[in-house]
Structure formats: C-alpha cells, structure tokens
C-alpha cells in the first residue's frame, strides 16, 4: 500500500472532513475576479482559423502527441497560470487544495462488490443515473489515491464534470477506503490488480453497450497504469487518464522523507492507522512475518508497508515491494489511449520519476507536465481557487474525443475491441 497523498480525506489534517459541503468565503468575489484577470493578462488571443500550438509553459511529449494534441489545443495553447499566492508554492497549493477546495453535493448510491477472495470493494454510482441515462452512455470509473474515496473534493469535481456531459460515473473505493467494508485480513496495494480487474469486468458486464474509461489519481493512477500494461491488447477500457502518478515508487519514496514532505508522510500514516485499527481484529493471531504492532502504530507509510502491506502481498522487503509495484515499468506495454498529466513541482510524485522515454516511444501515450500544481492541487483555470482543478476540462476533452472516435469506429466482429482503428487514426 504505497504512499501517495490525495486531497480531501486522504490528507488527514484534523479539519478535513469528506462529507462536509465547503463554502469558502476567505476571499471576496471581486478580489478573486481581479486575481484571475491579473494572472491571465499575458495570455495570447485564441485563433479560430489555425490549429493552436501548445504554450511553452507546458512540457508535452509522447508517441500519441500528433494524434491527441489537436483535441486539447484550445486549453494547451494558453499559458498555465497558477492562481496568485496559492499556486506559487507546491506545499501551499497541495495543502490549500486539500483544505479549501469545494466539495460538490452529489447524491450517491453504494454497491458493495464481493471479490473472488472473499474481500469487498464499494462502488458509488450517482443516484438516479439508471433512470436518467441510456444504457449505452459512456461510462467513467474513478480511482482515488491512497486512503481516498468518493468523498474527496478532486473526485467529486471530476464526477460532477463528467456527469454534466452526460457520462455515467462510478467511484471505485478500494478496501477500507471511503468506508468500504474490510472482510478479510487484506487491504489493497500498489501491487495488487485483482480488484481493479473485477471492478472493470463487473462494470463492462453491467453495461455491455457502453464504452468504458478510467481516471486515476496518485496511487490510483499507479494501479490503473499497471493494469493497462498488464492487460495490453486485451484491455476492455477505451481510454484512460493518469494524474499525479508517482510512477517510480522507489524514487518517490526517497523524496517522501525529505524536508516538509515528512508532514505528508505522517498525515498519511495516520490515515492508514485509522483504517487498519478499525479492522485490527481481522489480523488477530495471523502469525507469519506480519508485524501488527508496527502497522497499528506506524509513524510513516514505510513502517506501515513493512509491518503489513509487503507481507500481505508476498514481498521480502519494502524496497522489493516498491520496485515491483512501480507503474513506470508498465508504460511500454500500454495498448490503450492514455493521457498522463503531472506537475513539475509535485512534492510526492517527483518529475524525475516520469518514464519519459517509454511514453515518447509508445504510440498510445501522451504526457503533459504543468510547471506548477503541487500534488493534486492544480489551483488554476476558470474555477480557481476553490472550484475544480485545472486538469478537469483537459481530462474531459480527452475522453470525449476518444468517445467520438469510438462511435466512429465501433466494436465489430472484425474489430472486437474497437481500438485498432483509433490507435492508427491520423488526426
């Protein structure tokens, strides 16, 4: 269960409560408008006659650059402007997004899915969508970060954005996260793909006529990319987006214990202890290499992983667990359209861990690196500072473009995955 800070409940400072509907009033509306104007004053005017080139503030690369970039040009042609003050420092941005980003009020309906090993995960669907949407409406699976769930602000905003475009959305709450039940002495981890396989199979089986996509954040992004790589050409997803992915867990673990990052480490360790101690009786007399006292009292994520996670999933050491669970090794095998968005100043998912060469060589992948953003912050764009992160419109433009192409090239007996035509499509 590797480290990865998420917003909302995942960064468990005492004042953050996922079920609360925040209505921040710390900045007057007139001041917010003036700050937006000042931060965007240098943006170049949009041309309506020629394709826009991406602005130099972004790092953009990938084998699918020519394929997918035109669909995102109207956003990427403008410079990335972090919101004044809040977006200038990576730690201020990460913590501000966790504390003060609004949480859209959306009524959800929970479905508990029993897994083959006797465990359980919770799928949260938008209440009423079965009546409101046709059975072939495009479907989006959301994978939150470590200890995150459907109550987190960044998850709710993405859910809200997709829902407003006519998408069916479901949040995949991993074992113990988002109050998902824990029924066996096993949580989830960066290495374990069994649950995501079962969730995708369940969702595609329930809506066989819908194209299914997925968006993952932080640890959820790492799990998603590993799943895409392992499934290869057999992946049933029509597209995916990875946000704030740590990619190389060994590199990220090195940075996680430096300077101010210790604050995140302690906060996440507290979240893990809270989840674990709710279910500690499941681990009574478990024996083996488990160190239950270490996990129950872990002061760092590494201690928790050493006492519990790496043992649960058969690793001899924490370092072996992190090395074997890194999604950086999976990118070369991805055969599904994949957009990766990272922040250059992310304190938890270091930019030096991004597998740039493999992304560049994979014709299905596109990478966008913003100059600022922190970890799950991205306090920029029209809805800053308290609304949706800058990434949400980019994600929607990408998956809606893919959905349009999927409609053009539907699944047929000659093209059962509906993907080959898309992968070789020239835009």
Q: Cα–Cα distance between 85 and 80 in angstroms, integer?
A: 14
Which among 375, 392, 397, 417 is annotated as catalytic?
375
Average the pLDDT over each of 35-49, 194-208, 294-308 and give the range with the smallest value: 35-49
Q: Which of 269, 293, 325 delimits the end of a domain?
A: 325
In a domain, 411, yes or no: no
The reported pLDDT for the residue numbered 406 is 78
414 is written with which tokens?
A: 């000659």
In a domain, 145, yes or no: yes
Q: What Cα–Cα distance (Å) separates residue 401 from each residue in 209, 296, 395? A: 18, 46, 10
In a domain, 144, yes or no: yes
In a domain, 219, yes or no: yes
Which among 174, 189, 218, 328 is annotated as catalytic?
218
94 is written with which tokens?
A: 């990460």
Whether the predicted pLDDT of 335 surpasses 60: yes
Q: Are residues 164 and 300 in the same domain?
A: no
Label residue 17 by pLDDT band (50, 70, 90): very low
Q: What are phi and psi of 183, to 5 degrees?
A: -115, -5
Q: Are residues 75 and 214 in the same domain?
A: yes
Q: Are residues 99 and 156 in the same domain?
A: yes
Q: Are residues 144 and 70 in the same domain?
A: yes
Q: Are residues 287 and 208 in the same domain?
A: no
Q: Are residues 367 and 379 in the same domain?
A: yes
Residue in the structure block whose two tokens are 């943006």? 43
> What is the 8-class DSSP label of residue 8?
G
148 is written with which tokens?
A: 């995150």
Number of domains in the chain: 2
Which among 152, 265, 346, 417 is annotated as catalytic?
346
Question: In a 10 Å sphere around its CB, with 0-12 CB exposed, 13-18 middle and 19+ buried, how is residue 63 labelled?
Answer: middle
Q: Is the Cβ–Cβ distance between 364 and 423 less than 8 Å?
A: yes
Q: Which domain holds residue 291?
A: 249-325
Ramachandran category for residue 31: left, alpha or beta (phi over 0 → left; psi -120 to 50 → alpha):
alpha
In a domain, 47, yes or no: no
* Catalytic residue list contains 375: yes
Q: Are residues 198 and 231 in the same domain?
A: yes
* Catalytic residue list contains 157: no
Count CB neighbours of 289 within 10 A: 14
The reported pLDDT for the residue numbered 275 is 96
Q: Note the pLDDT tens digit of each residue in 377-409.
A: 999 999 999 999 999 999 999 999 999 987 665
168-173 and 212-217: which strand pairing? unpaired
Q: Are residues 76 and 209 in the same domain?
A: yes
The reported pLDDT for the residue numbered 1 is 43
Q: Are residues 205 and 88 in the same domain?
A: yes
pTM confidence score:
0.87
Q: Note the pLDDT tens digit of each residue in 157-212.
A: 999 999 999 999 999 999 999 999 999 999 999 999 999 999 999 999 999 999 99
Q: Are residues 267 and 277 in the same domain?
A: yes
Q: Are residues 83 and 144 in the same domain?
A: yes
Q: Are residues 178 and 286 in the same domain?
A: no
The reported pLDDT for the residue numbered 115 is 97
In a domain, 177, yes or no: yes
Q: Which of 301, 325, 349 delimits the end of a domain?
A: 325
In a domain, 39, yes or no: no
Q: Which of 258, 293, 325 delimits the end of a domain?
A: 325
Cα atoms found within 13 Å of the Cα of residue 69, Cβ hemisphere only: 20
Label residue 36 by pLDDT band (50, 70, 90): low
> In this structure, is the dihedral angle defined by the CA atoms of residues 397, 38, 80 and 386, taken in order, positive or negative?
negative
Q: Cα–Cα distance between 6 and 217 in angstroms, integer?
A: 8
In a domain, 191, yes or no: yes
CATH number for the domain including 158?
3.40.50.1820
Whether the predicted pLDDT of 30 surpasses 60: no
The reported pLDDT for the residue numbered 323 is 98
């Amino acid at each position: 269960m590797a480290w990865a800070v998420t917003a909302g409940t995942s960064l468990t400072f005492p004042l953050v409560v996922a079920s609360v509907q925040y209505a921040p009033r710390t900045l007057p509306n007139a001041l917010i408008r003036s700050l937006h104007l000042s931060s965007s004053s240098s943006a170049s005017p949009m041309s309506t006659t020629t394709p826009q080139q991406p602005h130099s503030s972004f790092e953009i690369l990938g084998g699918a650059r020519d394929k997918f970039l035109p669909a995102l040009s109207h956003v990427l042609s403008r410079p990335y402007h972090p919101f004044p003050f809040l977006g200038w420092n990576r730690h201020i941005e990460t913590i501000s997004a966790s504390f003060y980003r609004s949480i859209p009020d959306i009524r959800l309906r929970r479905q508990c899915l029993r897994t083959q090993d006797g465990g359980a995960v919770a799928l949260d669907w938008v209440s009423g969508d079965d009546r409101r949407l046709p059975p072939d409406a495009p479907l989006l699976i959301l994978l939150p970060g470590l200890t995150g769930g459907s109550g987190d602000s960044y998850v709710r905003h993405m859910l809200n954005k997709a829902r407003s475009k006519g998408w069916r959305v479901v949040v995949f709450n991993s074992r113990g996260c988002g109050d998902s039940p824990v029924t066996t002495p096993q949580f989830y981890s960066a290495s374990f793909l069994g649950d995501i396989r079962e969730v995708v199979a369940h969702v595609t089986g329930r809506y066989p006529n819908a194209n299914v996509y997925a968006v993952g954040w932080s640890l959820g992004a790492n799990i998603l990319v590993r799943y895409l790589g392992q499934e290869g050409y057999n992946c049933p997803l029509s597209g995916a987006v990875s946000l704030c992915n740590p990619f190389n867990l060994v590199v990220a673990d090195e940075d996680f214990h430096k300077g101010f990052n210790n604050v995140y480490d302690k906060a996440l360790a507290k979240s893990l202890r809270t989840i674990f101690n709710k279910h500690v009786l499941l681990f009574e007399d478990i024996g083996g290499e488990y160190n239950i006292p270490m996990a129950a009292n872990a002061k760092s994520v590494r201690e928790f992983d050493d006492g519990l996670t790496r043992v649960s999933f058969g690793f001899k050491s924490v370092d072996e667990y992190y090395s074997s669970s890194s999604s950086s090794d999976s990118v070369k095998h991805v055969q599904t359209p994949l957009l990766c968005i990272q922040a250059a100043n992310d304190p938890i998912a270091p930019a030096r861990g991004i597998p740039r060469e493999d992304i560049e060589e994979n014709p299905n992948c596109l990478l966008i690196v913003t100059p600022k953003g922190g970890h799950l912050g991205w306090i920029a764009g029209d809805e800053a500072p308290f609304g949706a992160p800058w990434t949400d419109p980019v994600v929607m433009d990408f998956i809606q473009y893919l959905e349009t192409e999927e409609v053009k090239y539907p699944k047929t007996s000659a093209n059962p995955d509906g993907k080959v035509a898309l992968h070789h499509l020239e835009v």
